[in-house]
Structure 1
Amino acid sequence: MFQIDDIREKNIDKFYEIYLTGGKLKLIEAVAEGLGKRSYFTIDCDGTIKRKPMNHALPLITTINSDNYKEIIETLLEQMVDLTQREKIKKIERLSKYSMDTLTNNFNKIMASGDKVFGLKYGKELFLRDRQLFFKMLFDYVLLEDIDSEKSAMAWSLYLLMKDNDFSDEVFYVGMSYLLQRRSEFNDFERVSSTNFTPTPKMEVIAVSKTIDSSAVSSYGKILNEFTYKKEAIYTEILKEKIKY
C-alpha cells in the first residue's frame, strides 16, 4: 500500500521496516505511485519534443540486500519518488475470457501502440496464464527496440523482481507503464535487418556486453541470453555494434 504520509514526512525508518519484513516487492508497493511519469513523450504545437528519462528505481531495488538497504532506500526516497507525478494505481483487470491465441496475437501490436490500459491487462493475463511465455514475448519485443531507450533495463528488472514471486499490480504497473509509454523506436533493428552481415556467436557478444558500464547494454545482453529467439542473429548484431565488438 502506498505510504504517502511517510514519504512526505521522510519517515525513512518506516521504509527500512517495510523492506526488512516484506522484501523488495513490498518496498516498491509502498512507493510505487511516485515512481512513474504521466507521459514520457510529448510534442507541442511548435514541434518541440520532450522525452522524459526512465526512473531507475526498479533496477536499483533489484540490487538491494541486507548490507546496502539503508543507502538504497535513502536514495530512493530522496531522489526517485516524485509526488508531483503521482498516479493512483488500481488493481489491473483480467481478460479471462480471451483465448491464448487472442492474447499472443495482439500483444506485440499493443506494446507498439503504447496502449497503456490494454497493455497492462494483456500483460497481466499472459503473466498469470503462462509466466514464461509472457517474459519470452516481452523480451522478444524489447530486443526489437533501440538499446538507448533503456527498455531492456526496465524489462530485465521486472523479470528479476517477478519471475519467482506472486503477481504484484504495483510492481507490474511501474515497469510496464514505462515499456508502454516510452515511444517505440526500431531504428537499429530496421537498419541491421536490411543489411548483409556475418553472424557472430551470441555468447561471445554477450560475454563482452557484461563488461560494459551501461545497464541498458548489459540488460540487453542478459535478455538475449535468457531465451532462444527467431531473430537472435539480428539482435546479436545490434548488440555487437553497440559494444563495438
Structure 2
Amino acid sequence: MNFDIFNIIKENRKEELSSLLQEFGKLRLLSECAQFLDKRAFITIDLQGNIKRKINNFILPTFAFFNDETLLIDEIFKACDLKEKQNLDKIERFSSLDIEKVKFNFIKTLFNGNLEFSKKYGKELFLRDRESFFKTVSNFALIGNSSDKPLMVLALKKLMTSYDDNIFYLFIAYMTKYRDNTDIYENIVVENKDLSIEDLKIVLKNNSSLLNSLEGLKLLTTLTLLEEIKVDNRERALEKINFEITNIKNYTPLNFVEKELLKIFL
C-alpha cells in the first residue's frame, strides 16, 4: 500500500494518519514519514559569518519509548517538514569487505560527517554484527559535549528489532549531519578511574536544576547508554560526564516529550 504522506501532512489529516498507525503500526508509519523528518543541514552559515544550528526533533525517541497514539500523531505532524523532503533510496552494502575494515570505516565516516558512505558501512555492520554496530556507534556518540546522540542510539536499539532502511537512514543522517563540539572529550584527563555510573547518577539527581533540564536529560541518557553498551572509551566518557555535571550552569527547560523521557530514564 502506498501512503500519501505528503498530502496527509499538508492537509493536516490527523484522523487518516491515526488510522494508518492503528492498521500498520508505529514502525511502518515512522518509516513512511521518514522522507519528511530529515534536515538537509543542522548547521548553516551566512555571508556575514553568522552560524545557526537547527534543533533536533526527538521523533526517534518518541516512537521508541512511547505508545500513546495521540502523542505519536501530534509529534509526527510537528516534526514533518514538507520543504525538507528527501528521496530515500535503498541503502547499499559493502558485503565483500572484512568486518574490521567495515567497523573502522564506519566510525571514520561518522566522524567525518560522510552520510553517503556512513549509512552503507553502518548498514553492513548492523546486519552482519549488531553488537559491534552498537558498540562502534556508541563509541562515537559519547564524544560530543552535552550531546543527545546517546539518546538516539538508545532509541535505535529499541526500535530496530528488525531492520528498516528509512528509520536507519534517519538515525545515520542525524549522527553525521549534526556536528558536535568535542573539546571536553579531547582534553579531559582521566584522573579518577574509580568513577562509577551509579555515583554520577546520584550526583546528577542531587542537582535538581540540572537534572530537570535538557542538559540533564542528555547526561542521564548518556549514563544509561554506558550501562547498556560495553564501550571502549568508558573511563574517558565518565570523566567527561563528571566534568559536565560540575560545570554546566545554563539550563534549557524541558518540553512535554522531554519531561516524559526523563521520567523513563530516572
TM-score by length of 1: 0.88
Answering whether residue 123 of structure 2 is matched by residue 158 of structure 1, we say no
Of 12, 20, 23, the residue aligned with 2:22 is 20
**Structure 2: distance between partners of 1:207 and 1:136:** 25
Match runs of 1:83-232 below 5 Å: 83-147=82-146, 149-162=147-160, 165-193=161-189, 196-197=191-192, 199-206=194-201, 212-213=211-212, 214=214, 215-232=217-234
8 Å Cα contact 1:206-1:222 kept in structure 2: no
Query: 1:69 aligns to what?
Result: 69
Encode CA deviations 1:211-234: one digit per residue, 9 max, x unaligned.
833332222111111122332122
Q: Deviation per CA, 1:107-139, whole angstroms, max 9, x where unpaired?
A: 221111000100110111100001111011101
Name the SS for the 1:42 alignment partner. strand
Query: For 1:24-46, what per-residue CA distance to the aligned partner results, in whole angstroms no more than 9, with x for missing partners?
Result: 21121121111111011222332
Q: Aligned equivalents of 2:98 and 2:204: distance in 1? A: 38
> What is the alpha-carbon distance in structure 1 between the residues aligned to residue 187 and residue 83 of structure 2?
39
**Contact 1:35–1:81 (8 Å) recurs in 2:** yes
Runs of 4 or more, structure 1, over 6 Å off, are none
Between the aligned partners of 1:230 and 1:64, the Cα distance in structure 2 is 30
Residues in 1 aligned to 2:73 and 2:164: alpha-carbon distance in whole angstroms: 20
Contact preservation (8 Å) 1:155, 1:179: no
Gapped regions of structure 2 (runs ≥ 5): 248-266
Show CA shifts across 1:69-128 (max 9, x none): 113312321x21111111121111111122112101222211110001001101111000
Give identity over the alignment, percent: 29
Inter-CA distance 227–92: structure 2 relative to 1 (3 Å threshold):
same
**Distance in 2 between the 1:60 and 1:33 partners?**
17
The range that moved more, 80-89 or 11-20, is 11-20
Offset from partner CA, 1:127-173 (integer Å, 9 cap, x none): 000111101110111112222x32222222112211xx221111111
Aligned 8 A contact 2:188 2:239 in 1: yes
- Structure 1 residues 208 and 132: CA distance shift in structure 2, 3 A: farther
Q: How many residues align?
A: 238
Q: How far apart, CA to CA, are the structure 2 residues paired with 1:110 and 1:121? A: 10
Cα separation, partners in 2 of 1:218 and 1:201, compared to 1, 3 Å: closer
What is the TM-score with the length of structure 2 in the denominator?
A: 0.82
